[in-house]
């Protein structure tokens, strides 16, 4: 690899790290918490936050992976084919005792789909 290419790639990586939290915060359009459902609250368990951008600084939060509930393997937006149109932006999470979590949320148990 040429020296110029090395510095170019290093700069691109650095700018991606700087931009990632901003993109994460702006891309997330959480729905309204579904009424009458068991909804997880901030910091209730596993350091869960409703908005992944609020997890910035947590030792397990890696913004470069764009982690959030929507791309977590424990997120279940539509259980057994049921219509979840009444809970837009929210889905159930097995790690949160099947409570509803925001698709924009995050907790330290996040695992990429």
**Contact positions toward ligand SF4, by CB under 6 A?**
48, 69, 72, 74-75, 93, 95-96, 101, 105-107, 109-110
* Shortest Cβ 69–ligand SF4 spacing (Å): 3
Judged by CB, which is closer to ligand SF4: 10, or 94? Answer: 94
Longest CA pairwise span in the chain (Å):
60
* Shortest Cβ 28–ligand SF4 spacing (Å): 12
Closest CA relative to residue 108, chosen from 99, 97, 98, 95:
95
* Shortest Cβ 73–ligand SF4 spacing (Å): 7
Strands (E) in the chain, as ranges, are 75-76, 90-93, 99-102
Judged by CB, which is closer to ligand SF4: 2, or 62? Answer: 62
**Structure token pair of residue 79:** 């259980």
Please state, in angstroms and rounded to a whole number, the distance separating the CA atoms of residues 110 and 97. 15
């Amino acid at each position: 690899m040429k020296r110029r290419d090395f510095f170019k790639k290093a700069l691109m990586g650095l700018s991606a790290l700087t931009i990632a939290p901003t993109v994460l915060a702006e891309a997330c359009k959480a729905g309204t918490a579904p009424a009458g459902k068991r909804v997880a609250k901030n910091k209730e368990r596993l350091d869960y936050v409703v908005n992944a951008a609020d997890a910035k600084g947590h030792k397990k939060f890696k913004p470069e992976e764009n982690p959030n509930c929507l791309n977590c393997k424990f997120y279940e937006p539509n259980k057994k084919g049921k219509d979840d149109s009444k809970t837009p932006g929210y889905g159930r999470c097995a790690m949160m005792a099947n409570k509803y979590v925001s698709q924009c949320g995050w907790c330290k148990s996040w695992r990429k789909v």
